[in-house]
Structure 1
Amino acid sequence: MTETVTIPSHYSDHSFHAYVARPAGEPKAAIVVIQEIFGVNPGIRQKCDLLAEQGYLVVAPDLFWNLGENVQLDPDVEEELQQAFDYFGKFNADEGVKDIESTIKWARSETGGKKVGAVGYCLGGKLAYMTAARTDSDASVGYYAVGVPDMLRESHAIANPLMLHIPTADGFVDADAQKAMHEGLDDHPKVTLYDYPGLDHGFATQFGARRNEEGAQLADSRTDAFFAEHLA
């Protein structure tokens, strides 16, 4: 079952919508799915639906709530891609993580105190890293996260497991940035990094030209096993 819910902020007087996918039975845990720069679009919603089929309560907050109403963009349409970049430039990641924290609190309450994980893509990958460092998420996963080298100083605050999927041909995260991520995180006891040789940004998207089927299935299988272990 899917629905749209309203989540109250835990730190201010605003609220925001979120897409929720519920499992057939009692959820074994919850997962927050963190959007790309394209909003809570069909690809993000399908990721929620697939995780719900595995028995999780899954929620994707609309983090662009103050930039536009119900933002849903297609990266394969040039005008919409440029609109997404514009939103990215205006988005405040620090405020976004607070909304993710509100979502985690909502999901934990909704499941009666069960574990809550987070998984994000692109911008959401960056936010997943920040979520691991700044919230009580029980396990976090980031796909092709941007901007992580600028936040390595926060790595000491990562107390629960974090997995990052890094495509080596990422057009938005160059070789120097990838090297910095490995140098800063390889020795962290809570962090696991996986490289995907030759793959580009967005390789695990559900729809569209960016998807690499083999790479997406490998990364998603690792994510599924990671959550099965750490959200049990």
Structure 2
Amino acid sequence: MSEMISIDTIDGSGSFHAYVARPEGTPKAAVIVIQEIFGVNPGIRQKCDDWAAKGYLSLAPDLFWRLEPGIQLDADVPEQFQQALELMGKFNQDAGIRDIEATIRAARAQLGEGGKVGVVGFCLGGRLAFMTATRTDSDASVGYYGVGIDNLLGEKHGISRPVLLHIPQADHFVSPEAQAAMHDGLDDHPRVTLFDYAGEDHGFADTFGKRRSDEAAKLADARTAEFFVKNLG
């Protein structure tokens, strides 16, 4: 079952919508799906539905609500891709993290006492998933092809719960030097696991569309599912 709900911001300045997919029966935990630069589009909603099918309460907050509420873009349409890049340039990432934290709180309220909440993000969402791990009390965080994480390594001391990062080695948005910096900064962190995907490019785990690389996507998703079973239940 799916629906849209409204979540109040932490500072009380407004509210935003989130897509929610509910499992049959009692959820074993919750998974927050953090959007790419394309909004809470059909691909992101499908990822929520897939987590619900695995028994998790799943929510995808509309993080672009301050810019273009309800925006849904297609990565395979050049004009829409450009529009997405422009939105990313205007997006306040610190405010986005606060909205993710509000979503985590909303999920915990629905789960009840002791309920665990993980996050999984893609592209911009992969970066935000790392920031969520360093700045919030999420129980487990997963980032797919997060952009600019090499510039966030100064925050790694804030990681207190498990983190998993998927790194496509042919990512044209994340240079080999940036990938090397991620490994240098995180390989020895006891709570962080990094997986490399040789020959894969940015967006390889897209739900639909031309960017998807099916074999690598299924491998990464299986690793994420195992990670959440271990750390969320």
Opposite residue 224 of structure 1, the aligned amino acid is: A
Opposite residue 123 of structure 2, the aligned amino acid is: C
Greater mean alpha carbon deviation, residues 59-68 or residues 4-13: 4-13
Distance in 2, Cα, partners of 1:214 & 1:92: 34
Give me the TM-score of the superposition, normalised by structure 2.
0.99
**Structure 2 partner of 1:219:** 220
Distance in 1, Cα, partners of 2:174 & 2:25: 40
Give the SS at the match of 2:129.
helix
Opposite residue 211 of structure 2, the aligned amino acid is: R
Distance in 1, Cα, partners of 2:72 & 2:57: 22
Percent identity of equivalent pairs: 62
Give the SS at the match of 1:171.
coil
Q: Is the 8 A contact 2:62 2:69 kept in 1?
A: no
**Structure 2 partner of 1:105:** 105
Structure 1 residue ranges, 4+ long, deviating more than 3 angstroms after superposition: none
Number of aligned residue pairs: 232
Q: Which runs of 5+ in 2 are unaligned?
A: none
Opposite residue 51 of structure 2, the aligned amino acid is: L
Matched, 1:12 2:12: yes
Q: Provide the aligned C-alpha RMSD in A.
A: 0.5
Q: How does 1:161-172 map to 2 (within 5 A)?
A: 161-172=162-173
**Structure 1 partner of 2:144:** 143
Distance in 2, Cα, partners of 1:182 & 1:12: 39
Q: Which runs of 5+ in 1 are unaligned?
A: none
Q: Is the 8 A contact 2:64 2:71 kept in 1?
A: yes
User: By how many angstroms is 1:226 displaced?
Assistant: 0.2
Give the SS at the match of 1:117.
strand
Distance in 2, Cα, partners of 1:164 & 1:74: 24
Distance in 1, Cα, partners of 2:107 & 2:36: 20
| 1:117-160 CA-partner distances (Å, limit 9, x unpaired) | 00000000000000000000000000000010111000011000
Give the SS at the match of 1:52.
helix
User: By how many angstroms is 1:13 displaced?
Assistant: 2.0
Give the SS at the match of 2:32.
strand
| 1:151-202 CA-partner distances (Å, limit 9, x unpaired) | 1000011000000000000000010000000000000000000000000000
